[in-house]
A and B are shown apart, each in its own frame.
Chain A
Amino acid sequence: MTRGYHDIGGKDAGPIPIVELPWLHWEKQVEAIRSLLGDGTRRMMSLDELRRGFESFGEDKYKKLSFYRRRLEAMIDILIEKDVFTRDELDAAMAEARARWAPPAACRS
């Protein structure tokens, strides 16, 4: 059986990066949405489905994404797969979200 790219137990790696990083708001949102979609009333996405998502989206993408970004992208892939929304609808929602991040217009005076 081929070893999956996520199956890294026992491999060589450098020193452990012993750091404590803040848990950022967007990362909390990712975990909250994952938790809600997987809860007993919705049952829309199990942890196993989420893992299948990021364990099958390719090694390059898996390795370059941060932990929460990986989970976010997998969640989106699965929801598109389940016809909850389309990639185009996501792109439109992203454009709106991005506009809210645009810098304010410069002062005139």
Chain B
Amino acid sequence: MSDHDHAHDHDHDHGHGHDAHEPLVVEDDAGNIEGQILVDALQTLLVERGLVFPGEVRREIERLESPGAHLGARLVARAWVDDDYRRRLLADGKSAAAELGVGVGEAQLIVVENDATTHNLVCCTLCSCYPRSILGQPPAWYISKAYRSRAAREPRAVLEEFGLKVPDEARVLVHDSNADMRYLVLPQRPAGSEAMSEDQLAGLVTRDCMIGVSVVGPVS
């Protein structure tokens, strides 16, 4: 935050100490309680009007919480061991995910492959589009103003903040997600993993590798 930003916008209605240029706006305790009260009131009104049934929100929360990066990792591991599957995954992510029983309900899924000459990075500059059905909810930094702003303009500098130095000779492709298209990075299979089973390989694949802020390190 630069000094000239400092003087304004401290006086808004729920009294937090942040200003408009902070990269990630988080609620303090009072803000979280206010959020809880507001969403409870909304839920009460929707149930009263018969638009949402009692208990339905709780079940939906369970449904939203169940997907996680282990699902994306399964797609990646299968692509590493089965070249035909890899081609199908790159051609039509949604159908290839369905082959493994993984449903991608929210949008089309475009899978982009890292290799020796290309590194892929996924962001959403406008909001928070993210392949939730195969990676779970996006991390806080993914929806931060700083990541949304900078990933598209200076991806190499952003990646260095995540501890990843992409070689100068490799190109960096940035994919800006939207409501209709979600992206998944297919990382490079690491050196030393030749003898590993598909399940073992899936265990190497992290969420950050599938967003593109990290790579799968060599197996020793």
A contact residues vs B (CB 8 Å cutoff) = 6-21, 23-33, 35-37, 42, 44, 47-48, 51, 59-60, 63-69, 72-73, 75-76, 79, 84-85, 89-90, 93-94, 96-98, 100-101
Contact A8 B125 (CB under 8 A): yes
A26 to B149, CA, bound (A): 27
Instruction: Please pick, from A16, A47, A65, A96, the residue contacting B150 in the complex, using a CB distance under 8 A.
Output: A16
Interface string of B128-172 (1 = CB under 8 A from A): 100000000101110111111111110000100110000000000
CB of A72 within 8 A of CB of B9, answer no
Q: Which residues of B contact A89 (CB under 8 A)?
A: 45
Q: Select one of A7, A42, A48, A101 contacting B51, CB under 8 A.
A: A42
Asked if residues A18 and B149 are in contact (CB atoms below 8 Å), the reply is no
Bitwise interface map of B from 1 to 36 toward A, beta carbon under 8 Å scored 1, else 0: 100000001001000101011011111000111011
B91 within 8 A of A: no
Binding site for A on B (CB under 8 A): 1, 9, 12, 16, 18, 20-21, 23-27, 31-33, 35-46, 49, 51-52, 56-58, 60-61, 63-65, 123, 125-128, 137, 139-141, 143-153, 158, 161-162, 176, 179
A contact patch SS: helix
* Nearest A residue (CB) for B138: A67
Give Cα distance in the complex from A67 to B1, angstroms: 19
What separation, in Å, do the CA atoms of A68 and B141 have in the docked complex?
A: 14
A16 to B146 CA separation, bound complex (whole angstroms):
5
Q: Could you list 26 examples of A-B contacts with CB < 8 Å? A: A7-B126, A8-B145, A9-B149, A13-B23, A13-B146, A15-B23, A16-B162, A18-B161, A21-B26, A24-B32, A33-B39, A33-B42, A33-B60, A36-B56, A48-B179, A51-B179, A63-B21, A64-B9, A65-B25, A72-B38, A84-B49, A94-B37, A97-B36, A97-B37, A97-B44, A101-B36
Structural contact, B148 and A8, CB atoms closer than 8 A: yes
User: A12-B149, A37-B51 are known contacts. Are A19 and B37 too (CB-CB below 8 A)?
Assistant: no
Contact residues in A for B21 (Cβ distance below 8 Å): 63
Besides A8-B149, A26-B32, A84-B46, 17 other CB < 8 A contacts?
A9-B123, A10-B125, A11-B149, A14-B146, A16-B23, A16-B144, A16-B162, A21-B26, A26-B36, A33-B46, A59-B20, A63-B25, A76-B42, A85-B49, A93-B45, A96-B41, A97-B36
